[in-house]
């Protein structure tokens, strides 16, 4: 492995201290590779902290365009002495270890299976720049310069990015370019450049963008016509409302008056955040809120109210590692069950599972349509990995002929001709009733109540009247199963089994399937995109004698949901779980699948 | 309590208002509260206020939380859109509803449990945002539906029906609201409809959050000797600091200005006339108003009337600079930037 040339297929891990400006250096590096036409993936591991704690940025260069961590580390840039030992241990044999040798460390030279590249970054930057802040920032840019030389990156691309970033701030362009040069020249004169790991420019087949899921979801809210966004700050969902706010300032100001065609309310807590969205939605605006696990727990009472009173609502749960406060800056898919049955009593919620930022955009549009069509909350279960990391995606597209589906609303003209409006009568037999908007017509008035109500909306404590309503809600949920996004299914001829997964597991699952296929093990694949499960999910489950359910939580929540709702084949569904908080890699799952398949073959 | 469907009786002398509706059109379902409950008087006051203001019921959104008081929206304005939400969270529903459409009249009815314990946070933040609505607290010092526990408005030393005294200091919604920037703060008494109805009318027409704390005795659990929220105690201990009335724009020319009365113009064109009992009292001076109320409180006096008003304070929509057209009425083509804009936005990410 050490001698094999690794063009466009390796992982760089950069260890820094948070609050030192390394994020912009890392973004510059990743973008440079991306601009050279090579698929690249960035994952940020940051602490729940403002300044001074270890943070890592991992860049995977992947010719094959895989969308997951590889689980290996080929190059380490160690800029944080606190984590030298850990970073050294992380390096895969054959890798390269770059560190700031202003203060040389003998112990870093103990591994014979790697290459150590000491660069006196601090000393060079202290000599070249004035002021402690500039010296710290430029030290980060200088390692980018060294990597440019070591990986044979295109220097013109790097300079182009500096010009784009700093615009007419020529002094910043100059100082950054100087720092790049320092790192570059040192590497060229002291090491054999490029390394075995290196980047070769490619001409990409499709035009791609780098985008994070929260930004894409926020853009989805703008395009779906949402006007009210209410929220309470919580990692990792905060950037969704930040992005919505920025897009609205740019795209939602009235051209004549300059006034805002939107309203963003930073609520006092998550209860108020969802209450505000619900109030706006009741009143006919498309409204949403965004949160993460702890917020979902707080919102559950209102989710029950919205379910029972049948008010549309879009809720983004950008999942993080729980339970409780858990690990706020680490990713997981552990809210599946609490979201599916959020709130007391017999409640069931509609869930959508985007797999990447592009789907965060498209499923957001669907979420608003479904919420209006079904008159119920729709929860988009994203996660920190999708929400906050930059992913390479195909460009987002928009069809100008799209019109929103506002669902069954009795407008003023219809109400005028009606003798009497009844809120919860199932006229169409699909479990979905007609609603009215406040203030539209005197005949449309009714009282929304979370207490027991009959099909006319009146208060009731009568057995049969109550059951009529909750039975219809069950029927509506069955209708929902036929309307939600279908699963994505990939099949082989003569498969050995199958994988079921959701959301951000997709990249790692696809890579696993490719690798197993090369070993002669063929696994069909279904990525579930929504709950309730539609007939395709049920059919898929019945087809195989061995199914691996890959998900990122300890308790196999997706598997439990499948077994609860479909009640078939608990012994054939093998849970494949990873819940350590890092984005899933194929290494986390492949061995367990392989072993099980071999046992199955032997049996 | 009654399950009887309310008969519709039109009094022969009842006259329609200027939009052709009679007072009966402002009624709701038959109340299921205890006979003599103060809340029913408040509901009657709300009906009368909307009737006299010529506001069509379907242009009103009535909201509530959970508790005896929160049941009352069913008992008035059957033609209004209603939202009986969850305990203590009505202010957030009202905030969102108002954000979506500022053109309706919003009235929230809550109680001392709903507003001062479980919902204190939401109440405070709705006041801070100055959501344009009337918010009525029907304050009786106890939890009725759960059989008479003290609420956070119970005075120190006030006794429960079984005799035990409350030892925790009360939260006064009036002083709280004045302190955190309330733009209309009033106190009424359900047993004094003459003074309550003008307060409700002024509160409806005020631009911003109008809080009226109405002492509304609980005849079943808190109307005994030793209670400071009983009818008797309230009658004996309360006095008006100010008599206020709302004068709509059409009546301004003909209205006789009370001798010694002051006027606060409202943004709808109408005005509030008020006459203070005590010359030193100034309902437009926040700190003096708070000081006066606190002094009365220390003497165990319940001061009523329009205690503070600032009709110039920006409301939620002004603070958010939202469009003139209600957000919910904006057309999709106005809201959607289109395919070309999406292409341009993405240039920064390629």
Contacting residues of B for A448, CB less than 8 Å apart: 82-85
Contacting residues of B for A450, CB less than 8 Å apart: 84-86
- CATH number for the domain including A569? 3.40.50.920
Q: Between residues 189 and 218 of chain A, which touch chain B (CB distance below 8 Å)? A: 207-211
H or E element: which one contains A584? none
The answer to the question of residue A401 being in a domain is no
Q: Is the pLDDT of residue B148 over 60?
A: yes
- The domain total for chain A is 4
Domain that holds residue A157: 6-198
Rounded Cα distance, A503 and B31, in Å: 51
Looking at residue A568, its pLDDT comes to 74
> Which of B104, B323, B342 minimises the CB distance to A261?
B323
Do A479 and A513 reside in the same domain of the chain? no
Give me chain A's average pLDDT, please.
Answer: 95
Q: Is the pLDDT of residue B259 over 70?
A: no
Do A430 and A469 reside in the same domain of the chain? yes
Q: Between residues 41 and 80 of chain B, which touch chain A (CB distance below 8 Å)? A: 56-59, 61, 73-74, 78-80
Please judge whether B101 and A283 are an interchain contact, meaning their C-beta atoms are less than 8 angstroms apart. yes
Please judge whether B336 and A223 are an interchain contact, meaning their C-beta atoms are less than 8 angstroms apart. yes
DSSP letter, residue A212: -
Q: Between residues 234 and 253 of chain A, which touch chain B (CB distance below 8 Å)? A: 247, 251-252
Do A12 and A70 reside in the same domain of the chain? yes
Phi, psi of B177 (to 5 degrees): -65, -40
Question: Which token pair is B100?
Answer: 């979506």
Contacting residues of B for A445, CB less than 8 Å apart: 57-58, 78-82
Do A372 and A460 reside in the same domain of the chain? no
Higher pLDDT, A482 or A205: A482
Looking at residue A2, its pLDDT comes to 40
The answer to the question of residue A1 being in a domain is no
The answer to the question of residue A387 being in a domain is yes
Looking at residue B1, its pLDDT comes to 39
Q: Is the pLDDT of residue A367 over 90?
A: yes
The domain boundary, picked from A394, A424, A455, lies at: A394
Please judge whether B57 and A442 are an interchain contact, meaning their C-beta atoms are less than 8 angstroms apart. yes
Do A383 and A348 reside in the same domain of the chain? yes
Contacting residues of B for A358, CB less than 8 Å apart: none
Please judge whether B327 and A252 are an interchain contact, meaning their C-beta atoms are less than 8 angstroms apart. no
The answer to the question of residue A404 being in a domain is no
Do A353 and A390 reside in the same domain of the chain? yes
Kindly report the nearest CA distance between residue A450 and chain B, in angstroms: 6
Do A524 and A507 reside in the same domain of the chain? yes
Q: Between residues 245 and 264 of chain B, which touch chain A (CB distance below 8 Å)? A: none
Question: CATH number of B23-324: 3.90.1150.10, 3.30.420.40, 3.40.50.970, 3.90.226.10?
Answer: 3.40.50.970
- CATH number for the domain including A42? 3.40.920.10
Side-by-side strand order, sheet with A40-45: A40-45, A54-62, A9-17, A75-78, A96-100, A115-119
pLDDT in tens, B24-75: 999 999 999 999 999 999 999 999 999 999 999 999 999 999 999 999 999 9
Kindly report the nearest CA distance between residue A404 and chain B, in angstroms: 8
Rounded Cα distance, A446 and A453, in Å: 12
Please judge whether A442 and B320 are an interchain contact, meaning their C-beta atoms are less than 8 angstroms apart. no
The answer to the question of residue A77 being in a domain is yes
Quick one: closest CA in B to A246, which residue? Answer: B345
Q: Is the pLDDT of residue B8 over 80?
A: no
The domain boundary, picked from A455, A483, A511, lies at: A483
Q: B139 pairs with which residues across the strands?
A: B215
The answer to the question of residue A544 being in a domain is yes
Q: Is the pLDDT of residue A264 over 60?
A: yes
Percentage of the residues of chain A whose pLDDT score is greater than 90: 93
Please judge whether A437 and B328 are an interchain contact, meaning their C-beta atoms are less than 8 angstroms apart. yes
The answer to the question of residue A13 being in a domain is yes
Phi, psi of A493 (to 5 degrees): -80, 140
Sorted by sequence, the CB contacts under 8 Å of residue B81 that are 6+ apart come out as A436, A438, A439, A444, A445, A446, A447, B58, B60, B61, B62, B104
Chain A contact present for B101, CB below 8 A: yes
Pairing of strands A75-78, A54-62: unpaired
| DSSP string over A257-295 | T--BS-EEEE-SSHHHHHHHHHHHHHTT--EEEEE-HHH
The answer to the question of residue A399 being in a domain is no
Do A442 and A470 reside in the same domain of the chain? yes
Chain pair A-B, CB pairs under 8 angstroms:
213
The domain boundary, picked from A143, A170, A198, lies at: A198
Do A437 and A478 reside in the same domain of the chain? yes
Question: Which token pair is A206?
Answer: 């499709």
What sign results for the dihedral spanned by CA atoms B218, B224, B228, B233?
positive
| DSSP string over A460-523 | ---HHHHHHHHHHHHHHHHHHHHHSPPPEEE--SS-SEEEEEEGGGHHHHHHHHHHHHHTT--E
pTM above 0.90, yes or no: yes
């Amino acid at each position: 492995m050490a001698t094999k040339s690794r063009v466009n297929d390796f992982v760089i891990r950069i260890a820094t201290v948070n609050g030192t400006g390394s994020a912009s250096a890392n973004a510059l590096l990743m973008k440079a590779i991306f601009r050279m036409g090579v698929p690249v993936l960035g994952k940020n591991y940051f602490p729940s902290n403002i300044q001074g704690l270890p943070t890592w940025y991992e860049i995977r260069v992947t010719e094959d365009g895989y969308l997951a961590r590889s689980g290996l580390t080929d190059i380490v840039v160690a800029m944080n002495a606190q984590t030298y030992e850990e970073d050294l241990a992380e390096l895969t044999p054959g890798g390269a270890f770059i560190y700031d040798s202003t203060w040389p460390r003998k112990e870093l030279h103990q591994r014979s299976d790697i290459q150590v590249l000491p660069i006196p970054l601090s000393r060079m930057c202290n000599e070249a720049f004035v002021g402690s802040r500039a010296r710290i920032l430029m030290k980060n840019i200088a390692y980018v310069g060294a990597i440019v030389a070591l990986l044979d990156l295109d220097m013109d691309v790097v300079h182009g990015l500096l010009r784009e970033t700093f615009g007419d701030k020529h002094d910043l362009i100059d100082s950054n370019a100087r720092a790049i040069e320092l790192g570059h020249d040192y590497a060229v004169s002291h090491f054999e450049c490029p390394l075995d790991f290196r980047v070769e420019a490619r001409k990409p087949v499709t035009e791609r963008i780098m985008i994070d899921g929260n930004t894409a979801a926020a853009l989805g809210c703008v395009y779906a016509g949402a006007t009210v966004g209410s929220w309470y700050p919580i990692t990792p969902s905060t950037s969704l409302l930040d992005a919505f706010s920025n897009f609205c300032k740019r795209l939602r100001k009235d051209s004549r008056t300059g006034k805002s065609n939107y309203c963003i309310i930073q609520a006092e807590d998550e209860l108020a955040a969802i209450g505000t969205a619900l109030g706006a939605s009741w009143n006919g605006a498309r409204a949403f809120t965004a949160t993460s696990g702890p917020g979902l727990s707080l919102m559950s009472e209102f989710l029950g109210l919205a379910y029972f009173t049948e008010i549309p609502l879009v809720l983004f749960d950008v999942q993080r590692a729980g339970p409780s406060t858990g690990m706020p800056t680490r990713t997981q898919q552990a809210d599946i069950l609490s979201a599916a049955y959020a709130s007391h009593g017999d409640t069931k919620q509609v869930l959508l599972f985007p797999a990447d930022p592009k789907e965060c955009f498209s499923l957001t549009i669907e979420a608003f349509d479904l919420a209006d069509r079904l008159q119920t909350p729709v929860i988009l279960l994203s996660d920190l990995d999708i929400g906050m990391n930059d992913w390479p995606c195909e460009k987002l597209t928009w069809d100008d002929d799209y019109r929103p589906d506002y669902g069954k609303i009795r407008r003023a003209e219809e109400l005028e001709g009606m003798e009497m409006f009844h809120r919860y009568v199932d006229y169409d037999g699909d479990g979905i009733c007609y609603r009215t908007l406040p203030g539209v017509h005197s005949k449309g008035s009714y009282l929304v109540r979370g207490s027991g109500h009959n099909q006319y909306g009146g208060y009731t404590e009568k057995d049969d009247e109550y059951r009529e309503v909750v039975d219809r809600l069950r029927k509506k949920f069955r209708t929902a199963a036929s309307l939600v996004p279908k699963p994505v299914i990939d099949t082989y001829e003569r498969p050995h089994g199958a994988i079921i997964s959701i959301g951000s597991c997709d990249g790692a699952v696809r890579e696993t399937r490719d690798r197993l296929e090369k070993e002669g093990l063929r696994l069909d694949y279904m990525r579930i995109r929504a709950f309730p499960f539609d007939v395709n999910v049920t059919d898929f489950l019945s087809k195989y004698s061995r199914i691996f359910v890959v998900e990122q939580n300890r308790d196999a929540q997706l598997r439990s949901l499948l077994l609860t709702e479909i009640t078939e084949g608990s012994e054939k569904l093998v849970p494949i779980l990873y819940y350590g908080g890092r984005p899933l890699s194929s290494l986390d799952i492949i061995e367990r699948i392989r072993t099980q398949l071999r046992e199955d073959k032997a049996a | 309590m009654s399950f009887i469907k309310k008969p519709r009786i039109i009094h022969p002398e009842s006259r329609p208002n200027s939009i052709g509706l009679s007072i009966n059109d402002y009624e709701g379902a038959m109340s299921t509260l205890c006979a003599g409950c103060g809340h029913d008087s408040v509901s009657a006051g709300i009906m009368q206020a909307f009737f006299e203001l010529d506001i069509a019921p379907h242009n009103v959104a009535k909201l509530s939380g959970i508790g005896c008081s929160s049941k009352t929206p069913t008992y008035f304005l059957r033609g209004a859109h209603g939202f009986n939400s969850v305990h203590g969270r009505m202010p957030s529903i009202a905030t969102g509803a108002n954000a979506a459409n500022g053109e309706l009249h919003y009235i929230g009815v809550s109680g001392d449990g709903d507003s001062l314990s479980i919902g204190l946070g939401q109440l405070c933040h709705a006041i801070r945002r100055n959501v344009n609505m009337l918010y009525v607290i029907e304050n009786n010092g106890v939890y009725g539906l759960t059989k008479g526990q003290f609420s956070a408005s119970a005075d120190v030393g006030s006794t429960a029906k079984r005799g035990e005294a409350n030892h925790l200091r009360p939260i006064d919604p009036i002083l709280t609201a004045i302190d955190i920037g309330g733009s209309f703060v009033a106190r009424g008494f359900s047993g004094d409809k003459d003074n309550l109805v003008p307060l409700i009318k002024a509160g409806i027409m005020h631009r911003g959050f109008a809080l009226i704390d109405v002492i509304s005795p609980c005849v079943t659990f808190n109307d005994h000797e030793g209670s400071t929220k009983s009818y008797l105690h309230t009658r004996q201990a309360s006095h008006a600091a100010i008599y206020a009335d709302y004068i709509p724009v059409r009546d301004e020319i003909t209205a006789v200005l009370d001798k010694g009365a002051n006027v606060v113009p409202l943004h709808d064109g109408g005005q509030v006339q008020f006459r203070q009992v005590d010359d030193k009292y100034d309902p437009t001076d926040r700190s003096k108003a708070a000081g006066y109320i606190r002094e009365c409180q220390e003497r165990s006096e319940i001061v009523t009337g329009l205690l503070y008003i600032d009709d110039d304070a920006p409301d939620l929509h002004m603070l958010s600079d939202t469009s003139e057209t209600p957000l919910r009425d904006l057309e999709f083509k106005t809201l959607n930037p289109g395919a070309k804009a999406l292409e341009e936005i993405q240039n920064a990410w390629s």
